[in-house]
Amino acid sequence: QEQLVESGGGLVQAGGSLRLSCAASIRTFSSYSMDWFRQAPGKEREFVARISWIGGSTFYADSVKGRFTISRDNAKNTVYLEMNTLKPEDTAVYYCAASTKPYPSRSGDYNYWGQGTQVTVSS
């Protein structure tokens, strides 16, 4: 079964760090752009970070730039999100998503979504 499975979420104090992982059971993983999204209670889902399959280009939301780092290991079919200097406003369910488009822009552009992992940052 082709799927994405996130892990690594948890409870951390403000200023702390977490590393999220997204394990992909999909063929030709290296041909997918991988994104991280998050959704806080009562808020819409928002884009966090992307690593494109074209040259491994990375992109970040302004709110996480300089604190979060996205990376991928194609040999392990896994994408990571290293989160540092966490803030209470980073609290959300974090989702990974895969797209065959190099720069997906709409929900319909994604081929796969994970179930999410909860990140809670206490003040």
Contact 49, 104 (CB under 8 A): no
CA atoms within 13 A on the CB side of 87: 8
- Is residue 45 over pLDDT 90? yes
The pLDDT assigned to 70 comes to 98
Tokens representing residue 17 in the block: 């760090």
Phi, psi of 89, deg, nearest 5:
-70, -5
Q: How far apart are CA 93 and CA 28, in angstroms?
A: 27
Judge whether residue 105 has pLDDT over 90. no
pLDDT at res. 54: 81
Q: In terms of DSSP bridges, do strands 78-83 and 18-24 run parallel, antiparallel, or are they unpaired? A: antiparallel
> How far apart are the C-alpha atoms of 19 and 9, rounded to whole Å?
8
| pLDDT confidence tier of residue 50, bands split at 50, 70 and 90 | very high
